[in-house]
Amino acid sequence: MAMTHERIEIKEHDKGSVMGTSYIGPEDRETFYEELKRRCFNLEK
């Protein structure tokens, strides 16, 4: 659970439906997002 209003919502999709949602609050949002983009090819912002 993210304890901040500046959180990132991550939704896990499978064949068009949402399978789950997670909320995180990384200390360095930009670095985290760049690493996530590098690892997740289907990432949508």
- Predicted confidence (pLDDT) per residue in 7-26, tens digit: 888 888 777 777 888 888 88
Say how many domains are in the chain: 1
Cα distances (angstroms) measured from residue 42 to each of 1, 25, 38: 23, 21, 10
Residue 45 counted as domain residue: no
Query: In Å, how far from its chain's centre is CA 11?
Result: 7
3-state DSSP call for residue 10?
A: strand
Residue 29 counted as domain residue: yes
Write the CB contacts of 26 (distance below 8 Å, at least 6 apart in sequence).
8, 32
Residue 21 counted as domain residue: yes
Domain of residue 21 covers 8-39
Long-range pairs of 22-28 with CB within 8 A, sequence gap ≥ 24? none
Residue 44 counted as domain residue: no
Share of the chain above pLDDT 70, in %: 91
pLDDT for position 2: 58
pLDDT for position 16: 73
